[in-house]
């Protein structure tokens, strides 16, 4: 059974982050804060004073130096705050860092209008005259793509000042979802009443006792239903802010604004949704199998996660999970394995769920330091997959920081999900190949299908929800709890089929999704999964060229556009072929599962 900790003091040091790798104490953080303030004042002096290659280089160098320090400063505040969202000192650091971010944005707001006021020929002359500008050349020239979307100097200044206000909906939802929300009660093993936690919920939804699942499901959604109007207001605010900003910047739509930075055509997004819905039948078939295997008259939302094989409830302690991960990822080579052990030994992972700690899991790469990985580990199969997933991000961060200069070290979210999902595919392959018990293999195949459903189909459904709601905002249509419920329920039915009987809570699914506050992000899970299936399959087949190109991909950061980086590994997402191939794999899995 998973160990429950009442405070962080009970957690072994080896399973907690060492934030001293960033700052030894708050005093050092304060020193950097004041240094950034001074540097930021110097940045302001460049407004109207860049007239040649030398002054342009001096400005860009100072800006990058400031960015290096600020990223550490902000990361420390965020990481410290996420360890206990009730920590008022940490919240104060986050607030100060956010205020400083607005000041930095304001100080730099003059630059893009200035740069785009230049003739491209003039910029080339500056670069030719100042050797130091070679480092910034690609970024400078790429900025001209934004020419029609950058406003006047005065307008950019106003928008930068509004940055903190525009982030309020996301911040409010974060506080509701992580600090303030209280779930209902569930019945413990001895009949006692316990307040539900997210970690408990994930485990209970896999419990074979349907009454327990129903109880947890109702308790989990209770606060979301109660707060539906407040959360709808935050989500509506976030969507409208995004749609309005897109309009102000003269993008054809909020979607195209969201895709512009990665240079992803709108067709790629729409093709993902269209192709998935054209091949949705195997998912509907799986729902029929699930209903039949569970011997239910009605399949409900709280029946979606319980394993279809009884008596194979896997308890996987953290140490065992880490060892399994290292074995499963051996096909990626010895150097990859060494990095994984470094993560554990040097305390890059914060492992345990504790009161007030941010829910979920993530990786944050801090350039010049190392990656930090947040977990809320439960001793089950899902947590093993989460560990493998986040370490994929972590290795990607470490290698990109190691092999790329600061300017190209931070990779796009678009390619991030490839690194994490390749690891998941390698893990499930390892588990299936090393399990002799047919019942357990059946259980693992079931888990792979459910993982596929969550990482691919559910994310495509979320992507369509975002597309519809943003289009409504652009047309001035009302966005409230009733509208969100209607859209979400309709999509849920379309993707999951007619076998599912709806409890009232289903339609409130939108209210608990943090990713909706990062517009047009979730589709990247699906494209990442598609790419990962392709790459992992070839690596497992012993294709050394693919392995080599994949490791180079992990070292590439943002040295090229995401679609181009993937093309170098053999994945072309401008066609429907990778998506169709991935969906064919899912169809095969469902077919195999139905025969076992």
Average pLDDT score over residue span 172-180: 90
Same fold, 8-166 and 242-312+416-596: no
104-141 tens-digit pLDDT = 999 999 998 899 889 889 999 999 999 999 999 999 99
Q: Which residues pair with 500 in a beta bridge?
A: 299
Residues in the chain: 596
| Alpha-carbon gap, residue 336 to 126, rounded angstroms | 42
Q: Name which of 26-35, 88-97, 356-365, 412-421 the model is least confident about.
A: 412-421
pLDDT in tens, 197-228: 988 998 899 888 999 999 999 999 999 999 99
pLDDT digits (tens, 9 = 90+) for 247-278: 999 999 999 999 998 999 999 999 999 999 99
The answer to whether 254 touches 243, Cβ cutoff 8 Å, is yes
Domain map of the chain by residue range?
A: 8-166, 242-312+416-596
Of 456, 411, 449, nearest to 428 by C-alpha is 449
- Could you tell me the pLDDT band of residue 381, with boundaries at 50, 70 and 90? confident
Question: Quick one: average pLDDT of 169-189?
Answer: 90
- When pLDDT is averaged across residues 282-302 and rounded to a whole number, the result is 95
Q: Label residue 2 by pLDDT band (50, 70, 90).
A: low
The whole-angstrom separation of Cα 86 and Cα 358 is: 10
pLDDT by residue (tens digit) across 438-496? Answer: 888 888 898 889 989 998 999 999 999 999 999 999 999 999 999 999 999 999 999 99
Residue among 578, 275, 303, 292 nearest 450 (CA): 303
Cα–Cα–Cα angle for 450, 455, 458, rounded to 5 degrees: 85
Q: Which element (helix H / strand E) includes 472?
A: helix 458-474
Task: Judge residue 484's burial from the number of C-beta atoms within 10 Å of its C-beta, 0-12 exposed, 13-18 middle, 19 or more buried.
Answer: buried
Calpha distance 505→217 (Å, rounded):
9
The span from the CA of 361 to the CA of 349, in Å, is 10
- The rounded distance, in Å, linking the Cα atoms of 440 and 73 is 47
Residue 394: band (very low, low, confident or very high) from pLDDT cuts 50, 70, 90: very high
pLDDT of residue 3: 67
Q: What is the DSSP letter of 404?
A: S
* 357 touches 84 (CB < 8 A): yes
Instruction: Go through 304-332 and write b for each residue having 16 or more CB atoms within 10 A of its CB, e for each that does not.
Output: bbbbbbeebebebebeebbebbeebbebb
Res 144: pLDDT: 84
Phi, psi dihedral angles at 299 (to 5 degrees): -90, 125
3-class DSSP state of 373: strand
Sign of the four-CA dihedral 261, 532, 554, 350:
positive
Tokens representing 337 are: 């394995």
The answer to whether residues 277 and 496 touch, using CB atoms and an 8 Å cutoff, is no
Nearest residue to 376 (alpha-carbon basis) of 389, 359, 392: 359
| CATH label, 242-312+416-596, candidates 1.10.3720.10, 1.10.287.1080, 3.40.50.620, 1.10.1370.20 | 1.10.1370.20
C-alpha 94 chain-centroid distance = 20
Average pLDDT over residues 547-559: 97
Helices (H), 205-261: 210-226, 228-248, 254-260
Burial of 345 (0-12, 13-18, 19+ CB in 10 A): exposed
Which secondary structure element, helix H or strand E, spans residue 349, and what is its range?
strand 349-350
Q: Count the Cβ atoms, other than its own, within 10 Å of residue 29.
A: 20
185 is annotated as an active-site residue: no
Q: Which two tokens stand for residue 319?
A: 């140490």
pLDDT at 1 over 60: no
Using the predicted structure, report yes or no on whether residue 84 has a pLDDT greater than 90.
yes
Give the residue from 429, 370, 352, 369 showing the smallest Cα distance to 361: 352
Question: DSSP readout, 481-517?
Answer: HHHHHHHHHHHHHHHH-TTBPPPGGGGGGGGG-GGGG
Q: pTM (2 decimals)?
A: 0.79
Q: How confident is the model at residue 324 (pLDDT cuts 50, 70, 90)?
A: very high
* In the predicted structure, residue 553 carries a pLDDT above the cut 70: yes
Which of the two residues, 94 and 153, has the higher pLDDT score? Answer: 94
Q: What is the mean pLDDT of the chain?
A: 93
pLDDT digits (tens, 9 = 90+) for 307-317: 888 777 778 99
8-166 CATH fold: Butyryl-CoA Dehydrogenase, subunit A; domain 3 (1.20.140)
Tokens of 150: 């950058």
- Helix or strand (DSSP H, E) at 372: strand 371-374
Average pLDDT on 135-162 reads 86
* Helices of type H across 329-380: 334-345
Measure CA 449 to chain center. 21
Q: Which of 130, 206, 353, 390 is catalytic?
A: 390
């Amino acid at each position: 059974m998973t160990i429950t900790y009442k405070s962080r003091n009970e957690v072994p040091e080896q399973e907690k982050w060492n934030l001293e790798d960033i700052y030894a104490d708050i005093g050092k953080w304060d020193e950097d804060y004041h240094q950034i303030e001074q540097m930021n004042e110097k940045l302001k002096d460049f407004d109207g004073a860049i007239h040649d290659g030398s002054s342009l280089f001096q400005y860009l160098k100072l800006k990058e130096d400031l960015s290096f320090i600020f990223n550490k400063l902000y990361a420390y505040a965020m990481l410290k705050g996420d360890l206990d969202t009730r920590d008022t000192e940490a919240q104060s650091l986050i607030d100060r860092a956010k205020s400083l971010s607005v000041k930095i944005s304001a100080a730099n707001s003059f630059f893009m209008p200035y740069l785009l006021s230049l003739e491209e020929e003039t910029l080339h002359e500056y670069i030719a005259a100042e050797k130091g500008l070679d480092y910034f050349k690609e970024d400078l020239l790429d900025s001209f793509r934004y020419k029609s979307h950058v406003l006047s100097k005065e307008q950019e200044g106003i928008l930068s000042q509004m940055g903190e206000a525009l982030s309020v909906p996301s911040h409010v939802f974060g506080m509701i979802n992580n600090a303030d929300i209280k779930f209902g009660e569930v019945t413990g093993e001895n009949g006692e009443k316990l307040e539900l936690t997210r970690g408990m919920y994930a485990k209970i939804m896999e419990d074979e006792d349907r009454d327990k699942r129903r109880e947890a499901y109702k308790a989990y959604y209770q606060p979301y239903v109660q707060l539906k109007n407040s959360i709808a207001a935050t989500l509506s605010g976030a969507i409208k802010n995004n749609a309005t900003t897109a309009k102000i910047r003269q993008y054809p739509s909020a979607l195209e604004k969201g895709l512009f930075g990665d240079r992803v055509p709108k067709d790629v997004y729409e093709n993902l949704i269209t192709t998935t819905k054209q091949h949705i039948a195997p998912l509907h078939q799986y729902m029929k199998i699930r209903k039949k295997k569970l011997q239910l008259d009605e399949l409900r939302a709280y029946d979606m996660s319980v394993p279809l094989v009884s008596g194979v409830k896997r308890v996987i302690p953290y140490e065992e999970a880490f060892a399994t991960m290292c074995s499963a990822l051996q096909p990626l080579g010895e150097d990859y394995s060494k990095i994984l052990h470094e993560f554990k030994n040097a305390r890059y992972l914060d492992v345990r769920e504790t009161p007030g700690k941010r829910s979920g899991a993530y990786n944050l790469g801090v350039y010049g330091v190392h990656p930090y990985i947040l977990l809320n580990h439960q001793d089950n199969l899902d947590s093993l997959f989460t560990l493998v997933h986040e370490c994929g991000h972590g290795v990607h961060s470490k290698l990109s920081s190691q092999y790329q200069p600061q300017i190209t070290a931070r990779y796009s979210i678009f390619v991030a999900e490839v690194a994490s999902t390749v690891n998941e595919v390698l893990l499930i392959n390892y588990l299936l190949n090393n399990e002799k018990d047919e019942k357990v293999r059946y259980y693992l195949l079931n888990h792979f299908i459910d993982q596929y459903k969550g990482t691919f189909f559910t994310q495509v459904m979320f992507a369509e929800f975002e597309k519809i709601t943003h289009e409504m905002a652009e047309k001035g249509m009302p966005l409230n709890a009733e509208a969100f419920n209607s859209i979400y329920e309709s999509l849920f039915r379309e993707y999951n089929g007619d076998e599912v009987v709806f409890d009232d809570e289903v339609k409130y699914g939108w209210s608990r999704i943090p990713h909706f506050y990062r517009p047009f992000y979730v589709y990247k899970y699906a494209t990442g999964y598609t790419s990962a299936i392709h790459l992992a399959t070839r690596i497992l087949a012993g294709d050394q060229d693919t392995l080599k190109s994949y490791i180079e991909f992990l070292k590439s950061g943002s040295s090229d556009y995401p679609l181009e980086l993937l093309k170098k590994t053999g994945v072309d997402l401008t066609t429907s072929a990778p998506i169709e191939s991935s969906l064919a794999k899912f169809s095969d899995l469902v077919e195999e599962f139905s025969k076992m």
